[in-house]
Amino acid sequence: MATKIQEAPKVGMVSLGCPKALVDSERILTKLRADGYAMSPDYEGADVVLVNTCGFLDSAKEESLEAIGEAIAENGRVIVTGCMGNEAELIRARFPEVLAVTGAHQYEDVVAAVHAAAPPARGAFVDLVPEGGLKLTPRHYSYLKISEGCNHSCAFCIIPSLRGKLASRRIDAVLREAEKLVSAGTKELLVISQDTSAYGVDTRHESREWKGRQVRAHMTDLARELGQLRTSDGMAPWVRLHYVYPYPHVDDVIPLMAEGLLTPYLDIPFQHAAPSVLKSMKRPANEAKVLERIRNWRSIAPDIAIRSSFVVGFPGETEADFQYLLDWLDEAQLDRVGAFRFEPVEGAAANALPNPVTEEVKEERYQRIMEKTAAISAAKLAAKVGRTLPVIVDEVGESDEDGSIGATARSQADAPEIDGNVFLRDVPETLQPGDVVEVVIEDADEHDLFGAIVDA
């Protein structure tokens, strides 16, 4: 039986202005071609027309407006981009039927608008790259970057100088990427950025249309929409939030975990607990309120796993500060903890702070915090023995001399690479990476769980 190949949608392009604008047009068309689009030399054959405008002079603006009008008259489905994109109100006032208006260099926004207006043809026979793109992670989990940069000025960090201020991606572009990843086989989405809680602050949480409704560029809206996605077999993918600063609106995502729309897991970079150290770090210092909020989160979503990282030996950290941190950890009972010895980074403000901590003291404190957190982890994992938990399979081993097959998996409390594992015994030959199965937990150590598939 012959395979019927879906015809590629066609894009027309009117490119106005200087050579820089022409290069922009080339980049846009190159990306669209890689996405499976064909190019149309005329209005009649195009499914959508792009008009790349010039706004350098009044005469150039008028020429651009005339080109938009002509494209609407000849085709009717028009997306405007380029230098006049910053005058979107003027364009929409004159041509309200325009599908989208984006600014110069906003390649992702243009491509997203074309995808929305004329979805690309998909399939192994027409795609130049695999659906979901080229991946460096296993097929069953994917990282979903929602923004670049950061608005914080932490004393130990140089990320803002490397990546700039917060720059959030369009919410519809993020959701479209997530949808593509899930349709390509992703069972677990790991939402990442420098500051996930701040998503959309730079765009004033602008709304975009998605699936016939308006959705804000906001962490809560994003989490809710990601929770609506489904795999080809009808499964809701696991959705993890990483690098979440504990702003007040984080409270709003906890009910989504209780509803099953979001994996009950938060990665929060607390960095320390002692008020004086947090102040020196230029970090939020209301640690008492954080403890209260953690208790409230657990009352709403009892299975929530909270992971964090802490810096020991920061300049000026006293023994009393460090003991404060250990006591705080006793009360917080975080599920997963990583610790780092402070190291000066070229360009970081912390390098100039007084009272550096010696390497010997850093090492001693590092060993103490790791001992403390390992004990907390061991107790929390021991409490899971006897429970039945869903796990996602990462790797299936080879059959041993007895014909037994083992597998490595993770629970909802375990992010890949940074948290623990669930080691499974006597799994069936048919088990595959990415399978989500129910497992009875039989044993635990300080960091990992051990069990068997229910009814395996």
**Which residue ranges are tagged as binding site?**
18, 54, 83, 150, 154, 157
- The residue among 286, 367, 288 whose CA lies nearest residue 322 is 367
CA triple 367-370-375, angle to 5 deg: 125
Binding-site residues for [4Fe-4S] cluster sit at 18, 54, 83, 150, 154, 157
Would you say 235 and 191 are in contact if contact means Cβ atoms under 8 Å apart? no
* Structure letter (DSSP) for residue 285: -
CA triple 157-162-166, angle to 5 deg: 85
Amino acid, res. 65: L
- The residue among 181, 214, 212, 216 whose CA lies nearest residue 201 is 216
- The residue among 103, 130, 113, 136 whose CA lies nearest residue 34 is 130
Q: Which residues contact 177 (CB under 8 A, 6 or more apart)?
A: 144
CA triple 182-183-186, angle to 5 deg: 35
Q: Which residues contact 358 (CB under 8 A, 6 or more apart)?
A: none
Would you say 286 and 324 are in contact if contact means Cβ atoms under 8 Å apart? no
Give Cα 436 to chain centroid, integer Å: 21
Q: Which residues pair with 423 in a beta bridge?
A: 408, 450
Residue in the block written with tokens 């015809």: 7
Q: How far apart are CA 16 and CA 54, in angstroms?
A: 6
Across 397-448, the runs of DSSP E, i.e. the strands, are 407-411, 422-425, 436-444
